[in-house]
Amino acid sequence: MAEIKVLSQAVADKIAAGEVAERPAAVVKELVENSIDAGADRITVEIQNGGIKYIRIEDNGKGILANELEFAFVRHATSKLQSIEDLFSITTMGFRGEALASICAVADVEVMTKTKDADEGVYMTLKHGIPSEKETVACNFGTTMIIQNLFANVPARMKFLKKDSTEAGYIADVLGRIALAKPEIAFRYICDGTEVFSTSGDGQLKNTILNIYGMDVAKGLMEVQHFEHGVNVCGVVGKAELARGNRTRQTLLVNGRYIKNHVVAKVVEEAYRNILMTGKFPFFVINIELAPEMVDVNVHPAKTEIKFANEKEVYDIVYHAVKNTLYTVPKEQTIEKTEKTEKSEEVLKNNNYNKFETSRATERSLIADFMKNTIPDPKKVTPLAFREPTKEEAAFVEKMVLTQKMGQEELEVKLQEKSVSEVDETLQLIEKKAETKIIGQVFNTYVIVEQANKVFLIDQHAAHERKRFEELKKDYMENKVLGQMLLVPIVLDVDNSERQLVLENAEKLSNMGFGIEEFGSNSIIIHETPVLAGENEIKELLLEILSALRDGRPSGILSFEERALDMISCKYAIKANKKLSIPEMDGILKIVEDLEKAGITTCPHGRPIKIEFDKRDIEKMFKRIV
Ligand code: ADP
Ligand code: MG
């Protein structure tokens, strides 16, 4: 084992100083990285109150020698870097010798550690950075650190912390990404007494993803493997359906270390162009392996931002790696992979690989059993009446046919009961109706209508969406129940931050018509929804709404509520690229007329519903008139 040495001032200065302990998640990150550097293959992180009150990190690494223990807490004391040359070929996670010194200055620390060769362990506490006497203790080899009352003596720092649940979410996020970077290490994260996730540590990235994100994600992965010019790009990217409205599910690793690099994220997204809609971000866990000299990890004190020596080349290679996967993976191969993933889950269940007794896999198998015994598997059930889009469509068409049948005769009967001004109005209507002719549909998206001296192009989706939006908004304002019970509840895998969002916004979501309950630590169950659509659409809708909740701020002209209602309307409405029958087209026309009567001419985002051409304009275009 290398000795711990105090770095020379020159080296110390060379190293960008930065605050290590900015929030509980940063503390957890530093401590976990120390455990990894110590060669641990089992790391448990337990926190209480968002880590502010309590953080415990336990590892089975090489431990710290009893006579060096207090040195570990001295600034710039490190066993990982002896000279300035080492700075350029770093393979360990930490190297500044700053973390423990910073942490013990802002919290109460307890440490218990034992090296493999030592007969007994050693225990020490630090208050305000001042170490107590060391005591010998009986313990397993490895190191346990307990950090309590973080920032209790730094009120200014304390003020910047968010809610406990938010801080806990940050910790889950950081830890999840470290776990993805180290599939060979078994991680376990316990928050306020409940296990949030545990990874098996069997070395398989896909199993780690399964442990952290659940089955839905594990099933939708495609492998990336590409080597070029000394750069190896490997990992997985998600199919289109795993894309989300934000980048929280993107993990980028460089030489096995979790880092942030917006350009690489953009490059990956670029490879998805034409596959994903704008505003959707792909799922990925990508590791770029290259010679350590080609990377400068010392750009940012928290070491999550890096620079590549030959940036452009790296970006190019990443782009091609992802693009190759997206465009050449044959379907069968993906299916085979899915089966493999399921098999791995079986293996996990049978525990051989598992380094913890309770694991995510066991929990998932419990969920699977629950599903089998209590509710039918949604995938195997024949679609229920309300799930069949055709029924809704049938009703829609029926209504439209009726509208059409109300011909001139009926209108004239009505005429006799109306006042003079109404008579005028109705006469005009009759006139219009007689003159209105539906020409048809183009691009399966726009309805063409001729009326008097005009031609309209109507965006079928925009029109229908706006109508539904207005209805929903009215119901919402009047506190009407928007939700409808699902006969077959939908189980949705969520990550920790999504789960938090659901819990924190339970009331808002319920007002929107969502009935949701927690279901295990990584799933929720949806039993009521505001729109009777297919399972995938409902999942997508909820995720979009959660994403809007995460953003918090209104988008453009819409408030959060309007945005959510719009998302619901959008799922309900007739889609673009859908062939319509004449009665359906007539229905769309009727919708536009009703909306116009209410002075509405755009979809909820402000895009036009109808474009008008005057006969004169057309004649001018053909130079029939000047
Ligand atoms: P750095 O990781 O940059 O070296 P730290 O302040 O994080 O600095 O840690 C100081 C030293 O304490 C490390 O170099 C290492 O020798 C020792 N150390 C810290 N945590 C552990 C651990 N979990 N297991 C073994 N050694 C540790
Ligand atoms: Mg460290």
Cβ of 58 closer than 6 Å to ligand 1, yes or no, is: no
Cβ of 489 closer than 6 Å to ligand 1, yes or no, is: no
Cβ of 284 closer than 6 Å to ligand 1, yes or no, is: no
* Alpha carbon distance 99, 77 (integer Å): 10
Q: Higher pLDDT residue, 438 or 297?
A: 438
Q: Are the C-beta atoms of 359 and 349 separated by less than 8 Å?
A: no
* Alpha carbon distance 561, 584 (integer Å): 30
Give the residue, by CA position, lying nearest to ligand 1 atom 2: 94
Which atom of ligand 1 is the closest one to the Cα of 93?
2
Predicted local distance difference test score (pLDDT) of residue 355: 40
CA dihedral 39, 44, 50, 51 (to 10 degrees): -60
Which atom of ligand 1 is the closest one to the Cα of 103?
6
Predicted local distance difference test score (pLDDT) of residue 428: 62
Q: Are the C-beta atoms of 181 and 212 separated by less than 8 Å?
A: no
Predicted local distance difference test score (pLDDT) of residue 137: 93
Q: Are the C-beta atoms of 490 and 535 separated by less than 8 Å?
A: yes
Q: Residues with Cβ < 8 Å from 425, sequence gap 6 or more?
A: none
Read off φ and ψ for residue 206, nearest 5 degrees: -65, -35
* Mutate-to-test residue for ligand 1 from 37, 59, 115, 185, highest number of ligand atoms within 8 A of CB: 37
Look at residue 442 and give its three-state secondary structure.
strand
Cβ of 95 closer than 6 Å to ligand 1, yes or no, is: yes
Give residue-wise pLDDT tens across range 295-325.
Answer: 776 655 455 667 788 888 899 999 999 998 9
Cβ of 60 closer than 6 Å to ligand 1, yes or no, is: no
Ligand 1 geometric centre to CA of 23 (Å): 19
Q: Higher pLDDT residue, 417 or 210?
A: 210
Give the residue, by CA position, lying nearest to ligand 1 atom 20: 34
Ligand 1 geometric centre to CA of 59 (Å): 12
Ligand 1 geometric centre to CA of 73 (Å): 8
Ligand 2 geometric centre to CA of 292 (Å): 18
Q: Residues with Cβ < 8 Å from 454, sequence gap 6 or more?
A: 612, 613, 614, 615
Question: What number of CA atoms fall less than 13 Å from residue 481's CA on the CB side?
Answer: 6
User: Is pTM, for the whole model, over 0.85?
Assistant: no
Ligand 2 geometric centre to CA of 30 (Å): 5
* Mutate-to-test residue for ligand 1 from 56, 100, 116, highest number of ligand atoms within 8 A of CB: 100
| Cβ neighbours of 249 (radius 10 Å) | 22
Q: Are the C-beta atoms of 298 and 16 separated by less than 8 Å?
A: yes
Q: Higher pLDDT residue, 179 or 256?
A: 179
Q: Where are the alpha helices (DSSP H) in 58-163?
A: 99-106, 155-159
Ligand 1 geometric centre to CA of 18 (Å): 17
Q: Higher pLDDT residue, 364 or 27?
A: 27
Give residue-wise pLDDT tens across range 504-561.
Answer: 888 889 988 899 988 877 889 898 888 877 788 889 899 988 888 887 665 555 677 8
Give Cα separations from 165 to 23, 248, 496, 503 (angstroms): 13, 17, 10, 10
Predicted local distance difference test score (pLDDT) of residue 591: 93
Predicted local distance difference test score (pLDDT) of residue 238: 94
Cβ of 150 closer than 6 Å to ligand 1, yes or no, is: no
Single-letter amino acid code for the residue at 449: V
Ligand 2 geometric centre to CA of 619 (Å): 77
Cβ of 320 closer than 6 Å to ligand 1, yes or no, is: no
Which atom of ligand 1 is the closest one to the Cα of 79?
14
Share of the chain above pLDDT 90, in %: 35
Q: If you ran DSSP here, which 8-state letter would residue 92 be given?
A: S
Predicted local distance difference test score (pLDDT) of residue 560: 75
Which atom of ligand 1 is the closest one to the Cα of 61?
24
Q: Higher pLDDT residue, 240 or 304?
A: 240
Q: Indicate the pLDDT class of residue 274, thresholds 50, 70 and 90.
A: confident
Predicted local distance difference test score (pLDDT) of residue 92: 56
Cβ of 98 closer than 6 Å to ligand 1, yes or no, is: yes
158's tokens: 């304390």
Read off φ and ψ for residue 542, nearest 5 degrees: -60, -40
Q: Which of 106, 123, 131 is nearest to 22 (CA)?
A: 106
Read off φ and ψ for residue 597, nearest 5 degrees: -60, -35
Ligand 1 geometric centre to CA of 132 (Å): 18
* 455 has a pLDDT exceeding 60: yes
Mean confidence (pLDDT) of the chain:
78
397's tokens: 């068409």
Q: Indicate the pLDDT class of residue 417, thresholds 50, 70 and 90.
A: low
Ligand 2 geometric centre to CA of 227 (Å): 31
Predicted local distance difference test score (pLDDT) of residue 262: 82
Give residue-wise pLDDT tens across range 181-194.
Answer: 999 999 999 999 99
Q: Alpha-carbon Rg of the chain, whole angstroms?
A: 31
Greatest CA span in the chain, whole angstroms? 105
Cβ of 288 closer than 6 Å to ligand 1, yes or no, is: no
Cβ of 15 closer than 6 Å to ligand 1, yes or no, is: no
Concatenated DSSP letters of 152-169: TT-HHHHHT---HHHHHH
Ligand 2 geometric centre to CA of 146 (Å): 15
Cβ of 35 closer than 6 Å to ligand 1, yes or no, is: yes
Answer positive or negative: Cα dihedral of 20, 136, 120, 58.
negative
Q: Which of 266-280, 384-398, 604-618 has the lowest mean pLDDT?
A: 384-398
Ligand 1 geometric centre to CA of 238 (Å): 36
Give residue-wise pLDDT tens across range 349-368.
Answer: 433 343 443 344 444 444 44
Cβ of 61 closer than 6 Å to ligand 1, yes or no, is: yes
Instruction: Identify the residue whose tokens are 């290590």.
Output: 20
Cβ of 64 closer than 6 Å to ligand 1, yes or no, is: yes
Burial class (CB in 10 A: 0-12, 13-18, 19+), 604: buried
Cβ of 143 closer than 6 Å to ligand 1, yes or no, is: yes
* Mutate-to-test residue for ligand 1 from 4, 30, 34, 116, highest number of ligand atoms within 8 A of CB: 34
Question: Cα 89 from chain centroid?
Answer: 34
Cβ of 245 closer than 6 Å to ligand 1, yes or no, is: no
Cβ of 94 closer than 6 Å to ligand 1, yes or no, is: yes
Give residue-wise pLDDT tens across range 456-472.
Answer: 999 999 999 999 899 88
* Mutate-to-test residue for ligand 1 from 4, 78, 95, highest number of ligand atoms within 8 A of CB: 78
Q: Are the C-beta atoms of 268 and 312 separated by less than 8 Å?
A: no
Give residue-wise pLDDT tens across range 552-604.
Answer: 665 555 677 888 888 888 888 898 998 998 888 999 999 999 999 888 888 88
Q: Residues with Cβ < 8 Å from 607, sequence gap 6 or more?
A: 459, 462
Give the residue, by CA position, lying nearest to ligand 1 atom 12: 72
* 334 has a pLDDT exceeding 80: no
Q: Which of 169, 249, 280, 175 is nearest to 504 (CA)?
A: 169
486's tokens: 């699902």
Look at residue 3 and give its three-state secondary structure.
coil
Question: Cα 593 from chain centroid?
Answer: 40
* 54 has a pLDDT exceeding 90: yes
